A and B are shown apart, each in its own frame.
Chain A
Amino acid sequence: MTTLALRPFEFFFAQYRRVWRGSAITSVVTPVVYLLALGVGLGVFVDRSATLPGGISYLEFVAPGLLAGTMMQIATFESSWPVLSAIKWDRQYHAMLATPLRVGDVLLGHQAWVAARLTMIATIYLVVIAAFGGVSSALGVLAIPVAVLVGVAFSAPIAAWAAHTETEVSFVAIFRFLILPMFLFSGTFFPISSLPAALEALAYVTPLWHGVSLCRQLTLGDVAIWKAFGHLAYLVSFAAVGLAFARYTYRKRLVL
């Protein structure tokens, strides 16, 4: 299984090589712009008037949030349109399944590719954050794998949905009504304690909040070990359940 699953990976890599320049530039420019606007620009105002838990700067607060939130968005994108396309429009999955590859290989190979893309982007992101002074501990390096895990916790269930749905219309709704609110209200830009009690409870349930919290603990070097394990376990279960669902919907859609 493992070696077979690496083969689709090569396809996605070959496809990526055609667009890597544009993609690499975007990967660097996006965090720079976000950190300039929010960490530096908005941060000046925030730091002047408010005190964040632990007395940290707003840049230090928001940077890990942006990292985790961006991973969620990229992962969701990479597992929505590309998955449906490989089933329905460009049909690359069908090409793969005519060869020794099995449905599980196709799914794992694609998800492995998404994880690899996330690793590249998370690494660039963390370097940019560090350059802005947003990483105050060497433990911050571990925010890279955690951010990738946040991404997979989204990409796996989204891939499951994409293999189930007939059209792409739901993808826009997912972005608008699930991903965007999570990006804004999961402790990314402000502590969720500022939310009304009901929404705060809701925020605890989102995998993004767990991802943001864990990334923040790592970049600040302020790790509460049991909480950290809790966050990890939550994210891992999302990824695992998502993969199991995806395996089911892939099979249902591709093996007729």
Chain B
Amino acid sequence: MTAHDGQPLVHAHGLVKRFGELTAVDGVDFDLKRGEAFGFLGPNGAGKTSTMRMIGCVSPVTEGTLRVFGLDPARDGVQIRGRLGVVPQMDTLDMELTVRENIVIYGRYFGLPRRALGTRADELLEFVQLTERANDRVEPLSGGMKRRLTIARSLVNDPEVMLLDEPTTGLDPQARHVVWDRLYRLKQSGVTLVLTTHYMDEAEQLCDRLVVMDKGKIAAEGSPRELIERYSTREVVELRFENGRPDDFGYWTDGLVSRVESLPDRVLLYTDDGDAAAHELHERGLVPDSVLVRRSTLEDVFLHLTGRSLIE
């Protein structure tokens, strides 16, 4: 073991990634602990994928320090990759081979013996509920099934850390929940999960700890709960106006809520008691076309930190 207890599994300090003129990752620091589920949350172009690819030792670090299992990706890429499980953003499955062959061949890249791989492939297909499709070609599988196969394939070497780059992007809600359920079980079994996402609910479901990334920098770090407490209020009131909102909006909400966020299609009021605020607003005579009181989410955190929505 190269990573001792207490030593971070992944350590990044002042990590920078540049592509020519473009700075994709602009000096980030983070430490990942064994067994946790860690998320990079941010919009497209925030630098999440570039960070993941550096951790995965497929993209060289431009500047700064990166250690994975205490090893240096520039020198020990082969050993590090041997202990990682990677679920890339775009599937890299072979469409012509069968579901099972995809796992076996991938296992061979790690130098695992062919005989052991047969058993391993069957276990993994069982785990991702694809046993019935074992001998089918990959091509006709649904998006959710392909994703599950990619996850199964990434587990073939019994990785200590799984890198999941937008694991459920493009999946329908049901397929997403199946993937989340499998990832949750992996986490329970002690696998360290590192994932990127631009879905709030995904981050809230899966991550013990996350960083919010924006324009290559880390805007905030903490558990989903902590971030909401720090950067948002307990509740949010969403107001919609069909015929344009009143000009002197500040007058109506004066002293009522801790913060107002005005978006093109709606107005958000941040307060610890949404019902009371909505009621008071009504008392003051402001009648929007719709009023929704909800709990604060990471979306609100992101909005507060960057002034922008996560998904345009």
Interface residues of A (CB under 8 A from B): 3-4, 7-8, 10-11, 14-15, 18, 90-92, 94-102, 255-256
Cβ-defined contact, B88 with A94, below 8 A: yes
Stretch of B107-115, B174-182, B291-299 with 4 or more beta carbons under 8 angstroms from chain A = B107-115
CA distance A102 to B91 in the complex (A): 19
Cβ-defined contact, B92 with A92, below 8 A: yes
Q: Residue B226 at the A interface, CB < 8 A?
A: no
Cβ-defined contact, A100 with B81, below 8 A: yes
Known: A15-B97, A98-B81. A91 touches B90 (CB 8 A): yes
- 12 A-B residue contacts at CB 8 Å? A7-B111, A11-B105, A15-B94, A90-B95, A91-B91, A94-B90, A95-B94, A95-B106, A98-B58, A98-B81, A99-B81, A100-B109
Q: Residue B77 at the A interface, CB < 8 A?
A: yes
Q: With a CB–CB cut-off of 8 A, which chain A residues contact B251?
A: none
Interface residues of B (CB under 8 A from A): 19, 53, 56, 58-60, 77-79, 81-82, 84, 86, 88, 90-97, 101, 105-106, 108-111, 157
CB distance from A86 to the nearest CB of B (A): 10
Known: A7-B108, A10-B108, A98-B81. A92 touches B94 (CB 8 A): yes
For the A-B complex with A99-B106, A99-B110 known, give 16 more contacts whose Cβ atoms are closer than 8 Å: A3-B111, A7-B109, A10-B108, A11-B94, A11-B108, A14-B105, A15-B97, A91-B91, A95-B92, A95-B93, A95-B106, A98-B86, A99-B109, A100-B81, A100-B82, A102-B78
CA distance A4 to B106 in the complex (A): 13
Q: With a CB–CB cut-off of 8 A, which chain B residues contact A96?
A: 109
CA distance A11 to B101 in the complex (A): 9
Q: With a CB–CB cut-off of 8 A, which chain A residues contact B81?
A: 98-100
Residue in B60, B81, B90, B157 with the greatest tally of chain A CB atoms within 10 Å: B81
Cβ-defined contact, A91 with B92, below 8 A: yes
Cβ-defined contact, B96 with A18, below 8 A: yes
Query: Which of A90, A101, A255 is B109 in contact with, Cβ under 8 Å?
Result: A101
CA distance A92 to B94 in the complex (A): 7
Nearest CB to that of B82 among chain A residues?
A100
CA distance A10 to B113 in the complex (A): 13
CA distance A98 to B92 in the complex (A): 10
CA distance A90 to B139 in the complex (A): 11
Residue in A4, A90, A98, A100 with the greatest tally of chain B CB atoms within 10 Å: A98
Q: With a CB–CB cut-off of 8 A, which chain A residues contact B110?
A: 99-100
Q: With a CB–CB cut-off of 8 A, which chain A residues contact B78?
A: 4, 100, 102
